[in-house]
């Protein structure tokens, strides 16, 4: 077997070992290693093997976080969205052909959407196109206070809703909010940008987006997504989320691959890591929204611009990284090896590409500064 043929397997093993050492909690580290082994072999480990792995890695020192590596993505086939149209507009709401009802009582405006996109086929160039139509959807969780969802708490649930919507409206945080009862509220009108994504990066098969406040619409579910929550969404919210997703995809011709979670797109340019925000880092019901499992899509910040990640992100995904992130790291390790570079060295080159893109947008007045603390 030639040396080049050994690179993929070596790259995978190196990435798994490197990632495991970044998990500070020894139990989480063991769970991750066991899950990776079972995922790749298709077999459950024998009990004695699990114990042996645990003893080895339980006492393995955690090394400092290093840069992650990235890969070029393969995007699967997507189904066209169903046709949905506006049926009726009243003073305070709209009704659509799929039964969607949008409450407009909290509607507000910011400034017109305008953003730059880069051609994925010409990533080393500074030139970009200006767009004004939304290209995708970012799903959020409000991570706000929740009351028990039961009849005796009805008045409290409604008061919390009102306070949340008032807060979101003042901060212009999302385009839409779906409350615990499955009611859909329009907050920022679709023609405007909302303060929902912060520093963010995504890419589809043709285009790269570096400012999702303007490029994508933000849908927030009134929910909490941290560990311990049995089911972040109830059926009313899921039905409303599906109806709203179908309407927006139909109206703006949004690709399924551009419907992603906040955790997938959020980045921190100050330390060049992904996952500054981790809402919906796991368990987003893509299938229930009429979408493929978009956790399998490569993370654009890692894939194209060399962003890394550290222990907090791994803890947010419970030590089980998304399939798209895992395959991205493996492929980038192969790309780095093909160039005679280490994965970390190759990532540094890609980070300079991100800085070049940001500077090009800044010079043209097409990059919107954001305060992520407000997200």
**Counting Cβ atoms within 10 Å, is residue 105 exposed (0-12), middle (13-18) or buried (19+)?**
exposed
Low-confidence ranges of the chain (pLDDT < 50): 1-7, 45-76, 373-375
Q: Cα torsion at 131, 132, 137, 140 (round to 10°)?
A: 110
293-313 per-residue burial string, b: 16 or more CB within 10 A, e: under 16: ebbbbbbbbbbbbbbbbbeeb
- Report the C-alpha gap between 79 and 291 in whole angstroms: 8
- Phi, psi for 95 (deg, rounded to 5): -125, 140
Cβ(269)–Cβ(292) under 8 Å? Answer: no
Please report the pLDDT score of residue 22 as a whole number. 54
| Signed CA dihedral, 360, 364, 366, 368: sign only | positive
- 3-class DSSP state of 81: coil
Cβ(207)–Cβ(136) under 8 Å? Answer: no
Please report the pLDDT score of residue 33 as a whole number. 65
Question: Could you tell me which of 167, 161, 23, 186 has the C-alpha nearest to residue 96?
Answer: 186
Q: How far is the CA of 116 from the CAs of 18, 211, 295, 342, 353, in angstroms?
A: 35, 8, 25, 32, 15
Please report the pLDDT score of residue 62 as a whole number. 35
Please report the pLDDT score of residue 14 as a whole number. 58
Please report the pLDDT score of residue 332 as a whole number. 81
Cβ(251)–Cβ(243) under 8 Å? Answer: no
Encoded tokens for 155: 């008045």
**Helical spans, DSSP H, in the chain:** 3-21, 26-41, 47-58, 154-171, 212-215, 235-252, 262-265, 300-305, 311-316, 323-338, 343-363
DSSP annotation of 84 reads -
Please report the pLDDT score of residue 346 as a whole number. 92
Helix, strand and coil percent figures for the chain, each rounded to 5:
40, 15, 45
């Amino acid at each position: 077997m030639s040396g080049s043929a050994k690179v993929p397997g070596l790259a995978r093993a190196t990435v798994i070992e490197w990632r495991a050492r970044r998990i500070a909690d020894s139990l989480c580290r063991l769970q991750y290693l066991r899950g990776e082994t079972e995922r790749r072999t298709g077999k459950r480990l024998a009990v004695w093997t699990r114990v042996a792995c645990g003893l080895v890695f339980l006492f393995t020192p955690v090394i400092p976080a290093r840069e992650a590596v990235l890969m070029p993505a393969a995007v699967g086939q997507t189904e066209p969205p169903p046709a949905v149209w506006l049926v009726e507009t009243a003073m305070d709401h709209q009704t659509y052909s799929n039964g969607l009802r949008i409450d407009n009582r909290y509607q507000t405006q910011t400034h017109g959407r305008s953003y730059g996109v880069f051609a994925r086929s010409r990533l080393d160039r500074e030139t970009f196109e200006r767009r004004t139509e939304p290209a995708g959807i970012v799903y959020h969780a409000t991570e706000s206070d929740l009351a028990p969802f039961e009849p005796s708490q009805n008045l409290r649930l409604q008061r919390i809703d009102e306070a949340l919507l008032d807060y979101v409206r003042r901060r212009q945080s999302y385009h839409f909010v779906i409350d615990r009862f499955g009611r859909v509220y329009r907050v920022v009108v679709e023609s405007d940008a909302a303060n929902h994504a912060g520093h963010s990066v995504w890419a589809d098969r043709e285009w790269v987006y570096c400012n999702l406040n303007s490029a994508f619409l933000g849908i927030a579910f009134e929910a909490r997504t941290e560990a311990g929550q049995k089911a972040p969404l109830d059926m009313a919210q899921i039905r409303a989320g599906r109806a709203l997703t179908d309407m927006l995809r139909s109206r703006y011709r949004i690709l399924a691959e551009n419907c992603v979670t906040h955790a997938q797109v959020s980045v921190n340019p100050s330390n060049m890591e992904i996952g500054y925000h981790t809402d919906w880092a796991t368990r987003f019901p893509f299938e229930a929204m009429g979408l493929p499992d978009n956790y399998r899509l490569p993370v654009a910040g890692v894939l194209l611009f060399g962003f890394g990640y550290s222990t907090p992100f791994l803890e947010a995904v419970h030590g089980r990284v998304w399939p798209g992130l895992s395959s991205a790291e493996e492929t980038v390790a192969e790309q780095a090896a093909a160039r005679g570079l280490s994965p970390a060295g190759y990532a540094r080159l890609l980070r300079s590409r991100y800085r070049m893109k940001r500077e090009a947008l800044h010079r043209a007045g097409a990059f919107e500064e954001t305060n992520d603390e407000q997200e």
